[in-house]
Amino acid sequence: MTEQPITVIATIRVRPDHEKAAIAAIHDCVKASRLEKTNISYQCHRDVSDPAVFVFVERWASPEALSEHETTPHFRAMADVFRTALAEPLHVRITREI
pLDDT tens per residue, range 52-87: 999 999 999 999 999 999 999 999 999 999 999 999
Q: pTM, whole model, 2 decimals?
A: 0.93
CATH assignment of the domain containing 82:
3.30.70.100
Q: How far apart are CA 57 and CA 61, in angstroms?
A: 14
Residue 26 lies in a domain: yes
Residue 1 lies in a domain: no
Residue 53 lies in a domain: no
Q: What is the largest CA-CA distance in the chain?
A: 48
Residue 54 lies in a domain: no
Residue 28 lies in a domain: yes
- Tens digit of each residue's pLDDT (9 = 90 or more) over 14-40: 999 999 999 999 999 999 999 999 999
Residue 88 lies in a domain: yes
Residue 31 lies in a domain: yes
E-strand ranges in 1-98 read 6-13, 39-46, 53-60, 91-95
**Residues of the domain holding 85:** 6-48+59-95
Number of domains the chain contains: 1
Residue 52 burial class via C-beta count within 10 angstroms: exposed 0-12, middle 13-18, buried 19 and up: middle
Q: How far apart are CA 85 and CA 54, in angstroms?
A: 12
Q: How far apart are CA 79 and CA 29, in angstroms?
A: 10
Residue 66 lies in a domain: yes
